[in-house]
Structures are given as C-alpha cells and as structure tokens.
Amino acid sequence: MTKRAYNFNAGPAALPLEVLERAQKEFVDYQNTGMSIMEMSHRGAVYEKVHSEAQDRLLSLLGNPEGYKVLFLQGGASTQFAMIPMNLLAEGQTASFVATGSWASKALSEAKLVGDTTVVASSEADKYMKLPDLSQLDLPANTAYVHVTSNETIEGVQFTEFPDTGDIPLVVDMSSDILSRPLDMSKFDMIYAGAQKNLGPSGVTVIIAKEELITESPKHIPSIFRYSTHTKNNSLYNTPPAFSIYMVNEVLKWIQEKGGLEGIQRENEAKATLIYDAIDNSNGFYKGAAELESRSIMNVTFRLASEELEKAFVKASEEAGFIGLKGHRSVGGLRASIYNAVPYESCNALVEFMKEFQSKNG
C-alpha cells in the first residue's frame, strides 16, 4: 500500500487518492492515444472532450444554472484580483468591497490600482476573526460590483449567507470553499477560484459567470486580459493548462460519485464538527481563533496558551506524520485545512493526536 501523509496543507492541498490513482493509470497512455494528455494538441478532439466535460460537470454540480458560462484561465485567483476591476470597473464607478481578511485585502489592493474602490463592510476592528454583517449593506449608487471573499483561508472565517445586491453584480472569491457545499448560483454573478484547494492541482483558475458579464469587455485592455477574449474562444484562445483541467474533470467526477454537493457538505460538516468539538471540549487547552458564528468548515484555526507550546505542537505533529498544521506566518497559531479531499480518517487521527498532546502538555 502507498503511504499517504495526514495532509492538512492550505494549498496546494490534498487531492483524492482515487483521482491520483486514476490519473496515474492514464498518465503515459491516455485512452489508447499513445501519449499523455500533456503531449497532445489542445485543438484536437481528445483534449477538447476533456475540456468541455469539465465545464459541463461544473455547471451540472451547480444545478445547471441558466445563462452562466465556465472559463478556465491561468495566473491563479490573484490574477482575477486584477482582471475583475480591469473588466468590470469603469471610469466614474466604484468597486464595493467587503473586507474580511488577508485575501479580501489583497483583492482590494489590486482593484485600487485600477480604479475607485469603497469598503462597504469590514471586520478589521475584530482582527478579521468575526465576519461583518452583510444584511444591511449600504452601497454607493455608482457601484460597479460588490466583491466578497466567501472563505478567508488564513483567518478561518466563512460566510454561510450572501448579501442580496439586487441589480449590482455580486462577485465572489471562492478559492478555498468552492464546491464544498450546495450553492444557489442565482445569488452570484461571478464566482472564481484557483483550483489548488478544492478543485485540483494549481495551474488553472475557474470562473463561473453570467454570460453578460464576460461577453463584452473594454477594448483598451490587452486581449489576453479581457473576459470577452476567453468567452469568445471557449477558454482556448491560447494554450490552456491541459493537465490541470484534466485533473479538475477527474475531481469533479469524484465529487459526483460522492453524491454531489449535498454529499460533500455532509462529509465536510462531519469533519469540521469533529475537530471543533475537540477544541471546544479541551477545557481551554485549545482555543478556536475565529468567533463561533464565523467559523470556517474548510480552515480550522486555533491557538494554544503560548507560541512556545504552538511550536511544540507543530514539531510533535510532524513527527507523528501530520503535515501543514502551522498557521499562516501572518497570523500565527495553528490551522487544519480540511478541504473536500481530506479524508475523515485524517481528521480523526488529528483529534486523537490533539488529545494525546494535551494529556502530555496540559
């Protein structure tokens, strides 16, 4: 048997073992073509089938919402931080941002370089450990779009509800929780995600958007940065990251086999409950970093009494075969990233380890 680590990496992150094994089987000779998927033309029928299958599967998992298109782009979610304002923010308009943590801040900084921005809700005063209330958003009349980060990967806070922005497009960075639970797509005008947390390997960024948002783009920006270029060419304007898209298609098949988004959500909630219960039942030895109501089911952030003890925890966990439990360097503490592909057994093993560490150090 292959030895697999207890992988809690924040991204790139664990992939389903079944998917890796399937890919391994097809690696050298993809469906009797005598080559791998990486060695063939992206204009050929064999690759094009993978490409359109991945697009169809994504929409199907989201309930086939009408009027939405899927784009496969490169440059990660970070490139979208720039592309979104370049395409959607015109002179005389403002981009309204919800400031919830590290990734929302990065998205905001990039938009500022392109045009006018407004922060319409912020949890900075709570050190981003508690989500702001979005039920009464006061949006400037010239808002071009509202930008929200559904899950703050570093702080470990996650929205379960999204604001009703009426006719104003709602654009959501779902890099770290896309397809982790059912989504009512009618609420969103554009969602986007770098693939390397919940969808597959790095190298491809997925955009799911209402057609009207990505059909016409400003002509003063270079063609490669226009959504319209990629929409017109079905994400085949230039060479796509073929292997990453193939892997995304395989991950999507795996999600379908798990019972779709309802099935995945059930597992994700069970995993998160297991670890949060261990934190909450530790008599204060472990402390959840995020406020209770804002807790993420993807990135569990927690603390110990001192940084010294946290260091000892990380060291002991590594010796016991656990990977990736150190919190992000910007916030410190500990973090267990438990994306779709992290097995329940890994979470269970972590909880056992946490109890043991507490009994030795409590």
Ligand X SMILES: *Cc1c(COP(=O)(O)O)cnc(C)c1O
Q: Which CB atom, from 46 or from 323, has the smaller least distance to ligand X?
A: 323
Note whether 336 binds ligand X by CB under 6 A.
Answer: no
Instruction: Determine whether 254 is an active site residue.
Output: no
CA neighbours closer than 13 Å in the CB half-sphere of residue 47: 19
Answer yes or no: is 173 a known binding residue: yes
- Give the range of 18-26, 75-83, 207-215, 280-288 binding ligand X by CB under 6 A: 75-83
CA–CA gap between residue 63 and residue 58 (Å, rounded): 9
Note whether 78 binds ligand X by CB under 6 A.
Answer: yes
Considering only 9, 87, 143, 176, the residue that binds ligand X (CB under 6 A) is 176
Note whether 11 binds ligand X by CB under 6 A.
Answer: yes
Answer yes or no: is 239 a known binding residue: yes
Binding-site size for ligand X (CB under 6 A) equals 12
β-pairing, 287-288 with 299-303? antiparallel
Answer yes or no: is 96 a known binding residue: no
Note whether 194 binds ligand X by CB under 6 A.
Answer: yes
- Report CA dihedral (215, 219, 222, 225) to the nearest 10 degrees: -30
Q: Which of 197, 210, 271, 326 is catalytic?
A: 197
Note whether 327 binds ligand X by CB under 6 A.
Answer: no
CB 202 within 8 A of CB 76: yes
For residue 344, what are the β-bridge partners?
none
Task: Look at residues 145, 156, 248 and name the one whose alpha carbon lies nearest to residue 188.
Answer: 145
Structure tokens at 303: 């603390």
Q: Which CB atom, from 9 or from 149, has the smaller least distance to ligand X?
A: 149
Instruction: Determine whether 138 is an active site residue.
Output: no
Note whether 15 binds ligand X by CB under 6 A.
Answer: no
CA–CA gap between residue 19 and residue 229 (Å, rounded): 32
Answer yes or no: is 254 a known binding residue: no
Considering only 149, 249, 294, 317, the residue that binds ligand X (CB under 6 A) is 149
Answer yes or no: is 295 a known binding residue: no
With a CB cutoff of 8 Å and minimum separation 6, the contacts of 279 are 286, 287, 288, 300, 302, 354
Considering only 61, 70, 73, 77, the residue that binds ligand X (CB under 6 A) is 77
Q: Which CB atom, from 62 or from 108, has the smaller least distance to ligand X?
A: 108
Note whether 200 binds ligand X by CB under 6 A.
Answer: no
Long-range contacts of 313-320 (CB under 8 A, 24+ apart): 313/357, 316/353, 316/357, 317/353, 317/357, 320/353
Q: Which parts of 201-319 fold into alpha helices (H)? A: 211-215, 227-232, 242-257, 260-280, 307-319
CA–CA gap between residue 256 and residue 271 (Å, rounded): 19
Instruction: Determine whether 103 is an active site residue.
Output: yes
Note whether 158 binds ligand X by CB under 6 A.
Answer: no
Note whether 173 binds ligand X by CB under 6 A.
Answer: yes
CA 264, 7, 318, 2 dihedral sign is: positive
- Give the range of 12-20, 73-81, 245-253, 311-319 binding ligand X by CB under 6 A: 73-81
CA neighbours closer than 13 Å in the CB half-sphere of residue 74: 11
Residue 265 C-beta: closest distance to ligand X, Å:
19
Answer yes or no: is 153 a known binding residue: yes
Annotated binding site for pyridoxal 5'-phosphate: 77-78, 103, 153, 173, 196, 238-239
Which residues would be at the binding site for ligand X (CB under 6 A)?
11, 76-78, 103, 149, 153, 173, 175-176, 194, 197
Summarize the annotated binding site for L-glutamate as residue ranges: 43
Active site residues per annotation: 103, 173, 197
